[in-house]
Amino acid sequence: KAGVTQTPRYLIKTRGQQVTLSCSPISGHRSVSWYQQTPGQGLQFLFEYFSETQRNKGNFPGRFSGRQFSNSRSEMNVSTLELGDSALYLCASRPLTSGGRETQYFGPGTRLLVL
């Protein structure tokens, strides 16, 4: 089975611009989560989508948004970029069966640099 894929892998933007990142989950996985990783901050949860609906949301400003398509692929968008948005953005997928005792698998991430 192919793993979680993310595009693009690297991105350079300037302040004020917007950016869209894409994630394709593992086949059969219906839940997609997004995380931001910055140095010294670990992985901070952005949001989770399941069946095209946002089911959980982290503590990020409204400039960060996402969506999920019927094929479970997901995109996240960051508008009005700030220097502090420079980070590694990670996407993760899981089947989301009952019980929740399941592993979440991560993609390689998109490295965003805001200048």
Partner 1 sequence: DQQVKQNSPSLSVQEGRISILNCDYTNSMFDYFLWYKKYPAEGPTFLISISSIKDKNEDGRFTVFLNKSAKHLSLHIVPSQPGDSAVYFCAARWNSGNTPLVFGKGTRLSVIA
Please report, as ranges, the residues that interact with partner 1 according to CB under 8 A.
4, 6, 33, 35, 40-45, 48, 55-56, 58, 90, 92, 96, 98-109, 111
* Rounded Cα–Cα distance for residues 100 and 22 (Å): 25
**Which one, 40 or 84, has the nearer CB to partner 1?**
40
Which three-class secondary structure string do you get for 40-73? CCEEEEEEEEECCEEEEECCCCCCEEEEECCCCC
Q: Which of 17/54 has CB closer to partner 1?
A: 54
Neighbours of 72 (CB within 10 A): 21
Q: Tell me how far, at minimum, the Cβ of 16 lies from partner 1, in Å.
A: 27
Nearer CB in complex with partner 1: 72/109:
109
